[in-house]
């Protein structure tokens, strides 16, 4: 798939980055850093993973909540011993203000609990199976109820000796996980797993998994979901092929039925004490620091007007569910019952929604045909950007003034894996308004770097016979249909137009393209060479080709490899030596007169270890003429009289400090005289 934004034609307007986000109508809960727009404000604390509502740090629904198959919200009320329900509003039927959260069924006498499954003692958590059954964890009655929803027929009653079910979670394969704070016969805290037929797995969790006090569970999509199972994890390879990729630890065995409908093995997130643990499909704790994946049930969102909404992960392209009759107080609880609904600590790290409104953008004239919007955006998993537009020939659209959304287009949702390019929907118009809604997770936020507005639309429809444009509705559809192919053709043309950039070392993209350009000149770049050095080598390739095998060519090559500035490295040709040649690097040079021999002098910092020195030796062997032998000597800074005293050959001198007169020390701060002086001052730190 092509990367976005793609290179096509030049945009009609560019917003963001260096150009700025003007004209801007306004923004809510957004900040801009260097032209990049994102959610949040610096320094705001995140929701704690162990916050008391059990939302796992705001990542999922709080404990005791579940979303029904018809979009209703069920709440477990342990004190009232009932299950409450908040339904979606029905058009034309007003909600009962006296009982906004009615019970799913009336409370029954507690004394009937041993033989009446509908007599709840302390319901603490709820979950729905993929088949629509309701699972209720009744902690005080020490049982798990499975009811057919919504008529309430009893499916199963699960009661294990000595256990205390406290939290439930169900994965996409219908397997149910139950947090047990007591364990069978008081054996200790654990997590039980039941299959879709409510048979308990005796091998879950792994015997090496030790839990302290699990009190909240959530299911997330993990790694490999192959039908053949993952034998040995990623390091050992996946048998049968993995459509979803592997976890970093061993995955499913294939006989436990762990493959979910999404093709990825689920993992279990456990709130245990004060921290979060991630368990793989065999019930083993993943290493500390494993990132918490995206959970199956996202949290409720509190809209600016106070309405609660929920994004259904099973219907990603639909509007979120809204609960206008359900209100929360400043602590995130339902005021009448005191039930926790949304995790709202003192301050969130990031707001979960924000809006950027731009406009009006002005076209060339009435009926201007806006074409495409291309976003240069980073959208992490779990976040989204919703785009709405409005085009009109009127300079002031009434829908903007009175807050009405009737004239705005339907929102287009851009997520982590969707292209960030869309056609401008709706009718043509000289003025264009754009609304960008950023949705985050409380921990991650989309980031908008740039918005390119392409216009006017010049589709291939104008090249077809007039008959294709007679019916306005058909012409509009065909125009938008052909715009896809027009964009592809424009992308191909842009690739040909920009082909010359690949042949210039200053503009060729770093990586394979730059290495390919260097291969034209026979340059095989060392992996350690930075991009700047590679560009420099290509620009000097013609000069090096004429110097190859000579002293200047050897210096140029070593300069590229070591990054040393001129005059390094120093190259001493032995045939130029005399009998009075001083030692270099505390060792004498070879006997004078030897032909085709040389010594390369480098500071130790150019190759501090043996491996780098071997690389230099191989480099010299590859680029020197076959009859030339070279020796490399590495020197250290300083002067040792009688052992290393060849100034400007094997001596490294630093700059002298400019101190007060009379404070210099002999041999450390003094300058050598550049001209004869009758009475040189050895204590002066100024030139003679």
Tell me phi and psi for residue 126, to 5 degrees.
-135, 155
Q: What is the pLDDT of residue 2?
A: 39
- What band does 687 get if pLDDT is binned at 50, 70 and 90? very low
End-to-end CA distance of the chain: 70
Q: What is the pLDDT of residue 439?
A: 92
Q: Is the pLDDT of residue 275 over 90?
A: no
Q: Is the pLDDT of residue 136 over 90?
A: yes
- What band does 673 get if pLDDT is binned at 50, 70 and 90? very low
Dihedral angle of Cα 175, 178, 184, 190, to the nearest 10 degrees: 110
460-465 mean pLDDT: 73
Distance of CA 623 to the CA centre of its chain: 44
Quickly list H helices, 118-241: 233-236
Quick: pLDDT tens for 234-268. Answer: 333 343 334 333 443 333 433 344 444 344 678 99
Q: What is the pLDDT of residue 126?
A: 95
| Structural domains in the chain, sorted by start | 13-41+349-457 (2.60.120.260), 65-279 (2.40.10.500), 540-635 (no CATH), 655-688 (no CATH)
Q: Identify which of 176, 159, 178 has the alpha carbon closest to the alpha carbon of residue 167.
A: 178
Quickly count helices (H) and strands (E) in the chain.
8, 30
Quickly list H helices, 230-377: 233-236
User: Which range among 163-172, 239-248, 564-573 has the greatest average pLDDT?
Assistant: 163-172
Q: What is the pLDDT of residue 268?
A: 93
Q: Is the pLDDT of residue 648 over 90?
A: no
Q: What is the pLDDT of residue 625?
A: 80
Residue predicted with more confidence, 509 or 526: 509
365-379 mean pLDDT: 89
Q: What is the pLDDT of residue 190?
A: 94
- What band does 676 get if pLDDT is binned at 50, 70 and 90? very low
394-413 mean pLDDT: 67
Q: What is the pLDDT of residue 284?
A: 94
Dihedral angle of Cα 272, 274, 276, 282, to the nearest 10 degrees: -20
Mean of per-residue pLDDT scores for the chain: 78
Q: What is the pLDDT of residue 661?
A: 57
Which range among 178-182, 277-281, 523-527 shows the weakest confidence by mean pLDDT? 523-527
Residue predicted with more confidence, 426 or 452: 452
- Scanning the structure block, which residue is given the tokens 């409370």? 107
Structure tokens belonging to residue 334: 């339902």
Bridge partners, 603 (sequence order): 635
Q: How many CB atoms lie within 10 A of CB 175?
A: 25
Distance of CA 438 to the CA centre of its chain: 16
Q: What is the pLDDT of residue 91?
A: 63
Q: What is the pLDDT of residue 639?
A: 56
Share of residues in the chain with pLDDT > 90 (%): 26
Q: Is the pLDDT of residue 398 over 90?
A: no
Instruction: Answer yes or no: are the C-beta atoms of 375 and 450 closer than 8 Å.
Output: yes
Q: Is the pLDDT of residue 671 over 80?
A: no
Strand positions, DSSP E, 233-352: 264-272, 275-279, 301-302, 308-310, 321-323
- What band does 550 get if pLDDT is binned at 50, 70 and 90? confident
Q: What is the pLDDT of residue 679?
A: 39
- What band does 623 get if pLDDT is binned at 50, 70 and 90? confident
- Residue 43 to residue 348: CA distance in whole angstroms: 10
Q: Is the pLDDT of residue 330 over 90?
A: no
529-542 mean pLDDT: 83
* Residue 74, Cβ density class (10 Å: 0-12 exposed, 13-18 middle, ≥19 buried): buried
Structure tokens belonging to residue 570: 């120093």
Residue predicted with more confidence, 671 or 599: 599
- Residue 636 to residue 401: CA distance in whole angstroms: 75
Which range among 133-142, 246-255, 524-533 shows the weakest confidence by mean pLDDT? 246-255
Q: Identify which of 26, 34, 29 has the alpha carbon closest to the alpha carbon of residue 44.
A: 29
Share of residues in the chain with pLDDT > 70 (%): 78
Residue predicted with more confidence, 320 or 124: 124
Q: Is the pLDDT of residue 610 over 60?
A: yes
> DSSP letter string over 579-605?
TTPPPBTTBPPPPTT-TTEEEEEEEGG
Q: Identify which of 386, 447, 448 has the alpha carbon closest to the alpha carbon of residue 414.
A: 386
Q: What is the pLDDT of residue 253?
A: 39
Quick: pLDDT tens for 74-98. Answer: 999 999 999 999 887 766 656 665 6
Instruction: Answer yes or no: are the C-beta atoms of 286 and 249 closer than 8 Å.
Output: yes
Q: What is the pLDDT of residue 547?
A: 76
Residue predicted with more confidence, 19 or 452: 452
- What band does 218 get if pLDDT is binned at 50, 70 and 90? very high
Q: What is the pLDDT of residue 453?
A: 92
Q: Identify which of 657, 687, 656 has the alpha carbon closest to the alpha carbon of residue 674.
A: 687
For CA atoms 570, 575, 580, 583, give the dihedral sign. Answer: positive
- Residue 648 to residue 598: CA distance in whole angstroms: 17
Q: Identify which of 386, 365, 497, 378 has the alpha carbon closest to the alpha carbon of residue 436.
A: 386
Q: Which SS3 state, helix, strand or coil, does residue 179 take? A: strand
Quick: pLDDT tens for 21-58. Answer: 988 888 888 888 778 999 887 556 667 788 888 898 88
């Amino acid at each position: 798939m092509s990367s976005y934004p793609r290179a096509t034609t030049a945009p009609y307007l560019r917003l963001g980055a260096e150009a700025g986000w003007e004209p801007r109508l306004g923004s809510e809960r957004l900040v801009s850093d260097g032209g990049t727009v994102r959610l949040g404000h610096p320094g705001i604390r995140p929701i704690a993973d162990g916050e008391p509502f059990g939302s796992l740090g705001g990542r999922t629904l709080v404990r005791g909540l579940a979303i029904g198959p018809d979009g209703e919200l069920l709440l477990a009320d342990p004190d009232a011993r009932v299950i409450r329900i908040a339904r979606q509003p029905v058009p034309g039927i007003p909600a009962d203000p006296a009982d906004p959260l009615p019970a799913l069924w009336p409370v029954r006498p507690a004394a009937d609990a041993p033989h009446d499954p509908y007599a709840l003692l302390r319901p603490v958590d709820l979950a729905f199976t993929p088949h629509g059954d309701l699972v209720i964890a009744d902690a005080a009655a020490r049982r798990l109820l499975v009811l057919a929803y919504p008529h309430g027929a009893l499916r199963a009653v699960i009661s294990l000796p000595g256990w205390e079910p406290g939290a439930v979670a169900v994965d996409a394969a219908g397997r149910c996980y139950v947090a047990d704070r007591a364990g069978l016969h008081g054996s200790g805290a654990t997590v039980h797993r039941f299959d879709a037929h409510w048979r308990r797995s005796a091998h879950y969790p792994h015997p090496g998994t030790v839990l302290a006090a699990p009190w909240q569970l959530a299911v997330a999509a993990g790694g490999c979901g192959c039908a053949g199972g993952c034998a040995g994890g990623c390091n050992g390879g996946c048998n049968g092929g993995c459509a979803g990729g592997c976890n970093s630890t061993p995955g499913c065995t294939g006989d436990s039925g762990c493959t979910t409908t999404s093709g990825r093995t689920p993992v279990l997130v456990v709130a245990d004490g004060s921290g979060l643990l991630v368990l793989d499909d065999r019930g083993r704790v993943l290493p500390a620091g494993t990132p918490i994946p995206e959970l199956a049930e996202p949290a409720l969102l509190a809209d600016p007007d106070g309405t609660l909404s929920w994004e259904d992960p099973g219907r990603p392209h639909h509007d979120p569910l809204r609960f206008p009759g359900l209100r929360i107080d400043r602590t995130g609880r339902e005021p009448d019952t005191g039930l926790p609904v949304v995790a709202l600590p003192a301050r969130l790290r990031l707001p979960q929604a924000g809006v950027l409104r731009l406009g009006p953008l002005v076209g060339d004239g009435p009926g201007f045909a806006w074409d495409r919007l291309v976003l240069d955006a980073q959208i992490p998993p779990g976040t989204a950007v919703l785009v709405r537009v409005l085009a009109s020939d009127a300079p002031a659209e009434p829908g903007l003034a009175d807050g009405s959304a009737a004239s705005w287009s339907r929102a287009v949702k851009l997520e982590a894996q969707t292209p960030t390019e869309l056609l401008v929907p709706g009718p043509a118009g000289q003025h264009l308004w754009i609304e960008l809604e950023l949705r985050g997770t409380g921990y991650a936020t989309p980031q908008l770097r740039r918005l390119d507005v392409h216009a006017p639309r010049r589709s291939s429809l104008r090249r077809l016979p007039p008959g294709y444009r007679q019916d306005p509705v058909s012409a509009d559809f065909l125009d938008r249909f052909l715009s896809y192919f027009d964009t592809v053709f424009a992308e191909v043309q842009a690739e040909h137009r920009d082909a010359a950039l690949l042949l210039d070392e200053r503009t060729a993209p770093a990586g394979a393209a730059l290495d390919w350009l260097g291969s034209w000149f026979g340059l095989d770049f060392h992996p350690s060479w930075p991009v700047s050095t590679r560009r420099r080598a290509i620009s000097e390739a013609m000069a090096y080709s004429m110097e190859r095998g000579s002293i200047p060519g050897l210096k140029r090559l070593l300069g590229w490899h070591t990054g040393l500035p001129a005059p390094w490295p120093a190259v001493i040709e032995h045939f130029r030596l005399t009998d009075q040649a001083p030692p270099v690097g505390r060792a004498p040079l070879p006997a004078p007169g030897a032909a085709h021999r040389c010594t390369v002098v480098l500071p130790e910092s150019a190759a501090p270890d043996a491996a780098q020195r071997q690389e230099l030796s191989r480099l010299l062997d590859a680029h020197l003429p076959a009859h030339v032998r070279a020796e490399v000597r590495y020197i250290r800074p300083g002067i040792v009289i009688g052992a290393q005293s060849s100034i400007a050959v094997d001596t490294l001198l630093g700059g002298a400090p400019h101190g007060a007169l009379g404070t210099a020390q002999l041999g450390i701060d003094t300058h050598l005289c550049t001209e004869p002086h009758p009475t040189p001052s050895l204590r002066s730190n100024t030139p003679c």
